[in-house]
Chain A
Amino acid sequence: MDIQTWTFILVGITFALYIGIAIWARAASTGEFYVAGGGVHPIANGMATAADWMSAASFISMAGIISFIGYDGGVYLMGWTGGYVLLALCLAPYLRKFGKFTVPDFIGDRYYSQTARMVAVFCAIFVSFTYVAGQMRGVGVVFSRFLEVDINMGIIIGMCIVFFYAVMGGMKGITYTQVAQYCVLIFAFMVPAIFTSIMMTGNPVPQLGFGSTMADGSGMYLLDKIDGLSAELGFNQYTDGSKSMVDVFFITAALMVGTAGLPHVIIRFFTVPKVKDARISAGWALIFIAILYTTAPAVAAFARVNMIDSINGPDLKGVSAEQAPGWVTNWEKTGLVKWEDKNGDGRMFYSGDARNEMDINRDIIVLASPELANLPNWVVALLAAGGLAAALSTAAGLLLVISTSVAHDLLKKGLKPDMTEKQELLAARLSAVGAVIAAGYMGINPPGFVAQVVAFAFGLAASSFFPAIILGIFYKKMNKEGAIAGMISGIVFTTAYIVFFKFINPEMNTPDNWWFGISPEGIGTLGMILNFVVAIAVNKVTAETPQDVQDMVESIRYPKGAGAAIDH
């Protein structure tokens, strides 16, 4: 059977599964809609968190980026996993004990201030929208490549599916669907990785395979081979990297702290029954994430070797166009791989210097990896289903945060406090509908800045929520003036820096112009430090925190007495 038939079958089966789960897990109350009634088992919650967290970017793009930049790709690997240590140790158990639905709930109550709550609502909605637009686009790309439907049609199909289970099921529907989506995506990612690892190194464990010797009888270590090829062809040394150490440090920190501050991740820890479960949930989530994250650098290294070898041939002179590898001809059709015969010898050649004739898009590496390793068609189709699972699960989690922020934080806690639970549930569903449509619109008409604003999402989460929550838990005397001043200065500083280098003066976006050599991707770390400093300074010169708030902080510091997440 051809790739397209296989894709229709596998994608069809997985979609039917998601819809089935949605019907089974309909939400009846706001508690079920927002936090699945607080009754999800930690292992299931860990899987759902992992699916929620791993987006189209983790599944499709990350290994590709690492494949091109080598060591520097470690910023994503460490940054997007290390944040879970912060979450588990510093945030999750305390927020669970606090026992409300949302991050703005915590900020608003802890800092006894409507202003603080509104600042938090604004950040939560902005961060989530930024993210969700990218996911819908990812859905569209997968549809158009593998099912050859129009990209817009693909987005609309994706919208309908998400609409169905997010609007009906709320957090309960989303959580159980995400468990299924995790299984689909991890299976899809691992199968080609394991096959490739066996073929290239004889070791079935990709994590070990990429540190093993090649199976071609040369006895050479795979990574030494890549370094050798890189030196010969003028690429950056794969195992050394080219970013400055300061920048690597700051980007890693911004991604870690940003992860720990993202509202759609934090909200996950409100869905488990006990404080103890919140702690262990983060552990399960990280195990499930680590399976993909430790495999990704192996996939990257395998693809690197296969890519160079299949284009340049065993003699490193380049293969002739008639004998071009299948993946090149397949992906040339999409425009994501281009060959220009600069020296007119009819042979393709790939290098990091002037001899280069290839233009290869980073995003194709994972999707093309089965073709690179000559694996069967059903493996390619499996990857398509996995990519869709990754994009849809993340989109659904984000949509829930948006609808919760609007219905609960903005309406119930802000503009219209006299709503009944029924009205609130209806408002939550309607805002989920609105959010799906808005996200779909942004997917179909992508604003030019989607790619640029990803740094924003993490930078904002790092420089706004994270310090406010940490101080709220660990510094009893932190008052509202300090917290608000800190959040605002963190946001303003981070936004200004990113907007300046990404939008106003993109031509100045080079290391010479950056402050202390920190790129816009890493500036959230500095924004976070500024937030801490300003918050503590302002706190010193303003009124003391009321005693009842200090008592509340005292009580979230130990587990005893945590009920289910409740409306109040």
Chain B
Amino acid sequence: MAFENKDMAKRYWGENLKIMGILLAVWFAVSYGFGILLVEPLNQISLGGFKLGFWFAQQGSIYTFVVLIFVYVAKMNQLDKKYNVEE
């Protein structure tokens, strides 16, 4: 086992799941939330020439997805270092 003890392994996994959970919540919010479920109210708001809900469905959600993955990578690399399990 790479960890000093079982407790450390548990805490590493717990933190990992927390990072995932938060990022997946954002992932769900921008695509299913803003792009689909809330599209009608958001369409009342304009962003330049875009209706906001439409923009999330065709542009905004994709940009957010890219950012999410890079945030995840940075957070996980930090976490690996903290628990000394990086390669």
Residues of A within 8 A of B (CB): 66, 71, 73-74, 77-78, 81-82, 84-85, 88-90, 93, 207-208, 210-213, 221-224, 239-240, 245, 248-249, 252-253, 256, 274-276, 279-280, 282-283, 286-287, 290, 293-294, 297, 554-555, 557-562
Closest to A256 in B: B31
A239 CB contact (under 8 Å) in B27, B32, B35, B51: B51
B36 CB contact (under 8 Å) in A73, A249, A280, A297: A249
Q: B69 contacts A293, CB within 8 Å?
A: no
Q: A78-B61, A223-B50, A294-B58 are in contact. List 13 more A-B contacts (CB 8 A).
A: A73-B58, A77-B57, A82-B65, A88-B73, A252-B32, A275-B87, A283-B70, A293-B62, A294-B59, A554-B1, A557-B13, A557-B16, A561-B2
Which among B51, B65, B68 has the greatest number of chain A C-beta atoms within 10 A?
Answer: B65
16 residue pairs A–B, Cβ–Cβ below 8 Å:
A74-B57, A77-B62, A78-B31, A85-B27, A88-B69, A89-B72, A211-B48, A248-B36, A253-B32, A279-B72, A279-B76, A280-B70, A283-B66, A290-B66, A554-B9, A557-B9
| B12: chain A residues within 8 A (beta carbon) | 557-558
| B45: chain A residues within 8 A (beta carbon) | none
* A293 to B62 Cα, complex, angstroms: 8
Main secondary structure of the interface of B (DSSP, over half): helix
Q: A223-B49, A252-B31 are in contact. Are A85 and B2 (CB under 8 A)?
A: no
Q: B63 contacts A294, CB within 8 Å?
A: yes
Q: A74-B57, A279-B72, A558-B80 are in contact. Are A84 and B65 (CB under 8 A)?
A: yes
Closest to B69 in A: A283
Q: A85 contacts B36, CB within 8 Å?
A: no
Closest to B64 in A: A85
* A208 to B58 Cα, complex, angstroms: 12
| B36: chain A residues within 8 A (beta carbon) | 74, 245, 248-249, 252
B87 CB contact (under 8 Å) in A208, A213, A249, A562: A562
Q: A74-B58, A89-B20, A239-B43 are in contact. Are A558 and B3 (CB under 8 A)?
A: yes
* A210 to B32 Cα, complex, angstroms: 23
* A558 to B39 Cα, complex, angstroms: 39
| A88: chain B residues within 8 A (beta carbon) | 69, 72-73
Closest to A201 in B: B49
Q: A294 contacts B72, CB within 8 Å?
A: no
Q: B2 contacts A93, CB within 8 Å?
A: no
Which among B55, B66, B85 has the greatest number of chain A C-beta atoms within 10 A?
Answer: B66
Q: A82-B65, A90-B20, A559-B85 are in contact. Are A211 and B35 (CB under 8 A)?
A: no
CB distance from A197 to the nearest CB of B (A): 13
Q: A78-B35, A560-B2 are in contact. Are A85 and B85 (CB under 8 A)?
A: no
Closest to A208 in B: B48
